[in-house]
Structure 1
């Protein structure tokens, strides 16, 4: 049934394209343009057409999400001045597309629809833990004169990663949750303290109690899903001296063969992305065992612990605060996770 709906959608698209291909608008990206800003600049709601834009322009996007200045891009869903039958075909296509997507409120109104990309991770279970939260904002920095907190950015990247994995059929448990935030496209993310631990537990102020709570939640879920393919990804943002620029690091348990492979697969993906998109800059991020970290030591699923960057360093802040960069990070991590599973 699913195969047939995709076939119908493809045929409908061909019909619309043949009748109204001249209606597709092309624009040239200027320096500083991002996908969201480019679409807004040309009068298109980016949240309605983001996925279509990426699909149409995939070959001209750097690291799958960034525009390249001077390149020509196609703007999807330009209003067509055509006969009524074309409008009817478009409506049918939209209805079929809805069958292939599911809405999740945790991602927020603008990003709640998860459109199926594949079933490559069907049956797999992933536990995603973003660092700190609740009474503890984690590492702090200052960007554009405003305070920024680790937990807000780790959470946003985690949500984006969850959405990517779910689009490939995975079942995802988001262990730290904030029902009010969702995926946000701001540079400065407002700091709050209302996050809870899955499903709705108050997060303790005491650090040890907070970590024990997360370990208990993950290990109980792991036990209830015994026999299934399960992995854990923990996301943090580091805090070091302002002058220290670092790359993304991956840690694993020293005795976990599968955890090491997961960290290595994501690390390998990042190395390849840097080589392709930043050929003049070497990638210094590593993957290594760090069993001294509480969640690495105590949790049962094979896992990797990711440090995204230094929240106090100006260069690293660009990686963290730019929503397009957060999307790229989530996509690269998801590609590493796919690599890990499919090379098992």
Structure 2
């Protein structure tokens, strides 16, 4: 299928409209929320990590009565820090670039503190996106009613692959898988929301959303500050609650909680990675769940459609099946894992460093979701 056209608007103009809608504001991120049908002050306060009394005070409300369309201030603005590989919020990395394969910056805050920051940041961003998209004229919503969980691979204690790469001047740089995959995931989330889907992520960062690479040699730093999108889990005073291979099933639990509120037949799970596999060619690989002779047929169908969307005449995409913890016991109607790049390839690792290429990757993933959803 082709991407939705907004009525009779030409495709080129559609692209311009989408870019304008997704453009990041240059000011600080404001904590303003537009009330949706069914909302309560308690739910809004919980979502933004604040209290009902604080929201009432900020908005001079005399009661807890609210109505759809009402705009509420839910906290102070979140400071935005510009950077060549940003922007960042609250705080930026100490280093401007990933210095070596072994370099890492650990968080000085607890998982609970980082979760509070991450939750407030993502909720403010989602509120801003809903407000921006809601004002778009002739906006089509082919994904309305779909609930999609995006799983940015690794994060927290586990950065995934860290590989060396070169600039055009032969200067050595280093690419950290989880940092770049998170950026692609953010870009996918924004596009899916534009097309009407309800979207969440299993893992959150406390200090950035999507980031642009205006100086690609300043690569994203391995910050071990990501947390699971699970408020109760992050209350534990234990550094091991951060994402890692030891608690990978938490991703499935976060997803299944999200899927409980929607229709079983309109739920998708997409885990995003960029693996380091010298034994296979460069380019994307789509994986669906298979345990022994037991195969998940809807997921295989989704994987085949995603493979076609990711395919390129010079870099063909591959498909495979595995028994994977992040796909097992998942309540989505279909679930897949996408290795969007193979960073053992210098060309693939190079491409990840540029936000234009990451946006292209995100757009192809979105096309795969749209093709699957509209084929049913």
- Give the TM-score band, short-chain normalised: 0.5 to 0.7
Distance in structure 1 (CA, Å) of the matches to 2:187 and 2:163: 22
Identify which range, 198-207 or 300-309, moves more after superposition: 198-207
1:44 is aligned to none
Instruction: Give the conservation status (yes or no) of the 8 Å contact 2:165–2:350.
Output: no
Ranges in structure 2 where 5+ consecutive residues have no aligned partner: 1-5, 20-68, 70-119, 167-171, 235-239
Q: 2:318 aligns with which of 286, 302, 319?
A: 286
Distance in structure 1 (CA, Å) of the matches to 2:210 and 2:13: 18
1:141 is aligned to 163
Distance in structure 1 (CA, Å) of the matches to 2:276 and 2:204: 23
Residues 53 and 264 (structure 1 numbering): CA distance in 2 closer, same or farther, change over 3 Å? closer
Residues 181 and 332 (structure 1 numbering): CA distance in 2 closer, same or farther, change over 3 Å? same
- In the alignment, structure 1 residue 250 sits paired with structure 2 residue 286: yes
2:304 is aligned to 264
Instruction: Give the conservation status (yes or no) of the 8 Å contact 2:226–2:242.
Output: no
- In the alignment, structure 1 residue 297 sits paired with structure 2 residue 328: yes
Structure showing the higher helix proportion among its residues: 1
* Other structure's SS at 2:179 match: helix
TM-score for the superposition, normalised by structure 2: 0.57
Give the CA deviation at 1:107.
9.3
Q: 1:315 aligns with which of 347, 355, 359?
A: 347
TM-score for the superposition, normalised by structure 1: 0.62
Distance in structure 1 (CA, Å) of the matches to 2:281 and 2:319: 17
1:154 is aligned to 181
CA RMSD between the two structures? 3.2
Identify which range, 328-337 or 305-314, moves more after superposition: 305-314
Residues 149-189 of structure 1, C-alpha deviations (whole Å, 9 max, x = no match): 11101110000000010000000011111131110012311
Distance in structure 2 (CA, Å) of the matches to 1:107 and 1:323: 23
Residues 173 and 286 (structure 1 numbering): CA distance in 2 closer, same or farther, change over 3 Å? same
- Any residues of structure 2 matched to 1:1-344 within 5 Å, and which? 54-55=15-16, 105-106=121-122, 113=129, 115=133, 117-144=139-166, 145-186=172-213, 187=216, 188-200=219-231, 201-202=233-234, 204=241, 207-227=244-264, 229-241=266-278, 245-254=281-290, 255-271=295-311, 274-275=312-313, 281=314, 283-290=315-322, 292-301=323-332, 302-344=334-376
Residues 57 and 339 (structure 1 numbering): CA distance in 2 closer, same or farther, change over 3 Å? closer
Distance in structure 1 (CA, Å) of the matches to 2:173 and 2:367: 33
* Other structure's SS at 1:120 match: coil
Give the CA deviation at 1:327.
0.3
Ranges in structure 1 where 5+ consecutive residues have no aligned partner: 1-5, 11-50, 59-98, 276-280
